[in-house]
Amino acid sequence: MRSGKILLYQTGAQPEAVCAAALSAAGCTVVKFYCPLAAAEDRERYFPVLRQLLREQRADMVFAFAYEPALSEACQLEGVLYAAYCINAPEMAVIADNLANDCNLLLSPDTRQTQQLLAAGAANAAYLPLAPVLTAPAQQRAEGGPDFEEISRMGDGEKGQFPKYSAISFVGSRHTDNIYSRFSGLPDQLRGYLDAATSAQTQVYGCSLFDAMIDDTLLDGLRQLLPIAQAGQDAARYRYLLTSCILPTQATMLERTRSIGYLKQEFGTRFVWYSREPADAGQDGCRGPISYDAKLAAHYAAPYIHLNMTNRCRSAGVPQNCWDILECGGFLLSNYQADFAGLLEAGRDFVQYGSGRELRDMAEYYQKHPDEALEIAAHGCRTVRENHSWTARAAELLEVL
């Protein structure tokens, strides 16, 4: 599909506007629409309206940054292609009833999740990495990019900034109030086993331990003890929710709590942490939320060591913040994710760690070698701007279609 008419279902996802602009620039006619479909009564009310819209618009495709089962159903009935870009982590599309509708094209920014979608019955699924949404502050853009020369000249305490790359920043929440933490009624032995599993996962990158550790017998026991509404009676759905959503979120909480505690202890006031989770406020120096706009872009452009600790629900993919940090000229220190390979070069565009010890060693190293950090940040920024824009992704998407 080289061009055509795309009905964009608005979900408020961060990449929506910039992706729509890229599709328009590629020659597509993009018509945005929205109708509430989350609640059962909304679906009942708006489903006929939706079908009417599809008939009237005669679009080539409906596109959304989410999988909405009702959208799929409407498209299936009206014979319209539905491209759903499943960017959430965890992603509930995997347990959708009508995933196998042949109007569906599921896109995922995570190669492992793409395989999960296919295994769950999706007729068509394809991998499509994310791309930056935030852009460097306007001044930097006007001048052709982050002023790396300026950054390299920043000295001690100048303009109230930390010396370049002497501070480390993390933007994200700990997920302390997660489903696992609210599990009650588990026998002690089972609780101990699952606690060990989630702790172990924090030590391992690049693969999930949970599937192999939750055998069918254990799964059946858990289904009796802790029913999950979204799974219903379906064991495969329960397994997915437990091993790809609930337990990974707990592992994320453990890992971030441990790392944040260490960073606060080692870096003190030079640890800069933003989180929108109320439970994080005031903990370990958390500064509260930061809005996803120019303010965050300016923060990412600052010469900090910008840390990414991927939510474990995203098992392989490169998360959004990595793209944003690099586009804004930030120096990225990220945990290992399999999908970095082929997109970005570790050691040249960014640096990655594969253990807690490596995180500590690298943070210490780049504090002491700010010029190297600057060089890597500059290279990463160039790589992303040259190869990984939404213009490029739009072209890839149209190619897939």
Partner 1 sequence: MKLLVYEWNGFGYPDLKETLRRMGHRVERIGYVVRDKCQDSYFEEKLAERLKQGFDALLSYNFYPSAAQCCQEAGIPYISWIYDGEDFGLYCPATGFDTSYIFCCDSAMAEWLKGRGAAHAAYMPLGVNEKRLAGIRPTAAERGRFRAEVCFIGSLYQNKRSADEYQLPPYYRGYFEGMLRAQLQICSDRFLDELLNEELAKLLLSNLTIDPRYETTERELALSLLLTSATKRERFVLLTALSERFPTTVYTFSDTKNISGLENRGVIDYNTDMPKAFLCSKINLNITHRMIKTGIPLRVMDVLGAGGFLISNYQRDMEGEFRDGENIVLYCSEEELLEKTAFYLEHDGERARIAANGREYVRSRHALSRHLFEMLGMACGSDAAETGKSPV
Residues that bind partner 1 (CB under 8 A): 187-197, 199-201, 203-204, 207, 209, 212-213, 356
For residue 286, give Cα distances in angstroms to 199, 253, 308: 24, 15, 16
Q: Output the smallest distance, CB 179 to partner 1, in A.
A: 19
Rank residues 209 and 378 by Cβ distance to partner 1 and give the closer one: 209
Least distance from partner 1 to the Cβ atom of residue 250, Å: 13
Q: Is the Cβ of residue 214 or residue 301 nearer to partner 1 in the bound state? A: 214
The CA distance from 27 to 2, in Å, is: 8
Query: Strand pairing partners for 64?
Result: 9, 84
Residue closer to partner 1, measured from CB, 187 or 268: 187
- With respect to partner 1, which residue has the nearer C-beta, 31 or 204? 204
Closer of 200 and 225 to partner 1 (Cβ): 200
- Least distance CB 204 / partner 1 (angstroms): 6
Q: Phi/psi at 332 (nearest 5 deg)?
A: -105, 125
Q: To the nearest whole angstrom, how small is the minimum distance from the Cβ of residue 212 to partner 1?
A: 5
Q: Measured from the CB atom, is 208 or 367 closer to partner 1? A: 208
Cβ-based nearer residue to partner 1, 4 or 356: 356
Q: Is 100 or 212 the residue whose CB approaches partner 1 more closely?
A: 212
User: How far apart are the C-alpha atoms of 60 and 30, rounded to whole Å?
Assistant: 10
Whose Cβ is closer to partner 1: residue 3's or residue 203's?
203
Q: Are 326 and 348 in contact (CB under 8 A)?
A: no
- Minimum distance of partner 1 from residue 358's CB (angstroms): 12
> What secondary structure does DSSP assign to 163-222, as a single string?
STT-SEEEES----S-TGGG--S--HHHHHHHHHHHHHHTT--SS-SHHHHS-HHHHHHH
Nearest distance in Å: CB 193, partner 1: 4
The least CB distance from residue 79 to partner 1, in Å, is 42
CB of residue 258 to partner 1, shortest distance in Å:
10
Q: Which long-range contacts (CB under 8 A, 24 or more apart) does 286-295 make?
A: 290/171, 292/14, 292/133, 292/134, 293/134, 294/137, 294/138
Q: Are 67 and 96 in contact (CB under 8 A)?
A: yes
Which of 329, 178, 203, 210 minimizes the C-alpha distance to 258? 203
Closest to partner 1 by CB, 27 vs 187, is 187
| Listed residue (76, 124, 116) closest to 95, CA to CA | 116
* Shortest distance in whole angstroms from residue 357 CB to partner 1: 9
Helical (H) or strand (E) element with 63 = strand 61-64
From 169, 164, 168, 225, select the one nearest 193 (Cα to Cα). Answer: 225
As a whole number of angstroms, the distance between CA 6 and CA 30 comes to: 5
The C-alpha atoms of residue 1 and residue 264 are separated, in whole angstroms, by 50
CB of residue 362 to partner 1, shortest distance in Å: 17
**Which CB sits closer to partner 1, 166 or 201?**
201
Q: Are residues 317 and 129 in contact, defined by beta-carbon separation less than 8 angstroms?
A: yes
Token couple for 141: 């853009």
**Beta-bridge partner residues of 306:** 169, 332
To partner 1, the closest distance from the beta carbon of 222 in angstroms equals 13
